[in-house]
Structure 1
């Protein structure tokens, strides 16, 4: 079945490519001829040209397939469809090379995975497109999380990259993304998006080319700069397609171009995009004091799974109370959340902190508070064999909240802070009734942060 699907996708891609002459969008200069082929440590990339006929799949030369052009849109009208708005902002020069067609075939041969990714992204796309437009950046960059994480905010790579935009810990710190016992803002939808766009802006200013900026985001700006300098010294073209680079980066930019082509002309590829209204999906609501995530989801009258998709940055089942934290809820749930919080007359916290004493084991502490050792370890990010030392702070159930504690979600099973002995004592704070401030804005607000001046090397395992 996979072979049949791939052959069908190949035929469809070829038919589309041959039917539409290659043409860039408003930002491309069609009058400039493509640079001549050159050897760059391997087979030289070949610029795509329009084909003249449809042949059998097995005999098609992918290098001769054209790139679909962006559909014509009326820039004087505001569309009610976010996809149409995104197409209006497509501004990157189109990349024409055989790997683009290869990636189109790859995506179209997996329609279920593509559909699931687009469906996950519908919660975040409006906010990202809005932020891109505010910065004057090409809106096809809103598709980059599809390449990075398939729009899964909990994605975690072997290189320890995390979140929609896949920041590694060091680059996250460079861009002021908090990573501590309570939260990991690399997974925060708002904070990580602002950091990623700032980083991409810096990379573009460095290279003056979006393809090189994207390659730098994946491989590291210093590695790309060295590759450019090497080609320049050898008298070779310095565009993305002519640089010698790792295979992962070689495929990285063509993936984004392939997705751009599919979104630009979905009907020609036989794809139906999930409808996304051109309006905010979520808003941010400020909280004062601590609160269980489970309680917050109940106040918003949302399933926990849906709540965590908008609030994936918390490492613990608690919103800590010692600093300015926000919860993000769908726009149509904001009023419900605020009203339910004002009328809530029960404790908002079912957890408290406990400092480990000398000689105490996790099993003893769990028995004292009536919780299973497995759940106590999960909630506190402790590996099965880890033993927290004296002075380490744990979250334990408060009062009669054991049942709720046992059902608490496991948020960050890959993260453990037991090596940080003793852990900084977390303060949960107290939550007064009606303690919230709602921000019903067109986009979520977030605590103001400096994005950092330097654009350190990103998350790629080939980083040098």
Structure 2
């Protein structure tokens, strides 16, 4: 009986090993090596779960669709990663972050291909202002992400740790490494379990978790335990411990690293190698995007026209440019164009038509905020274009609107002819309903009706709707 059980166990192990061997290739092992992960991780059960989930027909079709949609810009992103010394597997981190959507926005307000929060974006040189949000610039954001990843790699020395800390933060990874090191140390030297030093370190970790101890105290402990020659690997950090509320790493991060690996390994599967998808294996061999300087104030529509391409196609490569107008505060600003249009751009770069902006002539009762709302243009943008120091206007004053004159008729977000501007007025001392109606050339009865008033009595601080 014992011999039979042994044979069954042996057969099971052999079958499992055969499954691993048939499902994974040498290229898959190279993906792990590029992330500084031991090849034995290929047998990780949770990794296989994620990988198999991606292989079902629905997910595999979605995968191919997203790669095809990104085929124009992925080679440029790969090129930047290579320039910055980032392993090419990190292209799949962008896929995990944003599904290769340049203008992706998360519920936490992370934005762009690499899902930068605004503070991190500013730290790595990305501009976010009324003219641009460079988190959505596929080239500049990739350079910024590369700087960030290189910094994280310098801290942790492993690419997989750089990827995980990109997801959950440097502090959480330092906490995870410190806790895992302590646990492995005590496992190796059980007599140290209740030593003064171990208890002191665990107290600091707990204090950090409860936000009672500053990060630099945790970092001190991390630096100390890093000298112990106890090196937790990816399997140690991803383990799910029993009866522990706060695991070494958040669930999202444990899935995240496995997702990156699985997405990278998907590109080696047979369905990618089929004739209709074989081009996806060669993404990155030739240049597809060029970055060129253009004069500030130009409209993307006119730039596209000069190259013989559609405005929509150019806009899709430059979603970081708000209002579709190159920042007028810059003498020159770089934009992204298809490499195939570079020659034509160079031929016509000095002949790009300047934007013929629309003009608004100020009428009685106009305010800058009303004009901005009517044309769906930020007040600050109008003030910048017209060098206004204040918001005061005068009758018949001409205001330049930073939108092409031929697009005025296409504005449907707000039309004066079918939707009136709504203002609010706060009642001040000495006001009466009659004086307010006279001031804004309104009928008293209509003013009462719009504000559902039963009488003409007002109180200081009341808010009235003026339609």
Q: Which TM bucket (shorter chain)?
A: 0.5 to 0.7
Q: Equivalent residues in 2 for 1:253-402 (5 A)?
A: 253-267=257-271, 272-275=277-280, 276=283, 278-323=285-330, 324-344=332-352, 346-350=353-357, 360=367, 362-363=369-370, 365=371, 373=373, 375-376=375-376, 391=391, 397=401, 401-402=404-405
Residue 406 of structure 1 deviates from its aligned partner by: 5.0
Tell whether 2:51 aligns with 1:104: yes
Cα deviation code 1:166-191 (max 9, x no counterpart):
10001011111111110111111121
Match of 1:252 among 222, 234, 256: 256
Q: Structure 2 vs 1, CA of residues 152 and 141 (structure 1 numbering), >3 Å: closer, same or farther?
A: same
2:101 paired with 1:152? yes
Q: 2 CA distance for matches of 1:332 and 1:185?
A: 23
Change (3 A) 1:333 1:264: same
Partners of 1:156 and 1:162 within 8 A in 2? yes
Structure 2 distance, partners of 1:409, 1:68, is 54
Q: Which residue does 2:234 correspond to in 1? A: 240
1:193 to 125, 142, 167: 142
When residues 409 and 143 of structure 1 are mapped into structure 2, their CA distance, relative to the original with a 3 A threshold, is: farther
Aligned length in residues? 326
Instruction: Give the superposition deviation at 1:196.
Output: 0.4
Q: What's the offset of the Cα at 1:358?
A: 9.8
Change in Cα spacing, 1:374 to 1:65, as seen in structure 2 (3 Å) is farther
Which residue matches 1:115?
Answer: 64
The superposition leaves residues 147-205 of structure 1 with CA deviations (integer Å, 9 ceiling, x where unpaired) of: 01111110011111111101000101111111111011111112111110111111111
Alignment deviations for residues 400-441 of structure 1 (CA, whole Å, 9 cap, x no partner) = x4442454799xxxxxxxxxxxxxxxxxxxxxxxxxxxxxxx
Would you tell me which structure has more helix in proportion to its own residues? 2
Report the TM-score, using the length of structure 2 for normalisation.
Answer: 0.60
Displacement of 1:223 in angstroms is: 0.7
5+ unaligned residues in a row in structure 1: which ranges?
1-47, 55-63, 74-85, 367-372, 383-388, 411-464
Structure with the greater alpha carbon radius of gyration: 2
Q: Larger relative contact order (C-alpha < 8 A, sep ≥ 6)? A: 1
CA drift of 1:390 comes to 6.3
Give the aligned CA root-mean-square deviation in angstroms. Answer: 4.1
Q: Give the gaps of 5 or more residues in structure 2.
A: 1-12, 188-230, 238-246, 383-388, 394-398, 414-467
Once the two structures are superposed, what CA deviation does each residue of 1:313-364 show, in whole Å capped at 9, x if it has no partner? 11222112322301211111112223344445x533436899999982644x
- Give the C-alpha shift of residue 99 in structure 1: 2.4
Residue 14 of structure 1: aligned partner: none
- Contact 2:74-2:284 at 8 Å conserved across structures: no
Counterpart residue number, 2:416: none
- The match for 2:113 among 160, 164, 168 is 164
Q: Distance in 2 between matches of 1:293 and 1:269?
A: 38
- Does residue 68 (structure 1) correspond to residue 71 (structure 2)? The answer is no
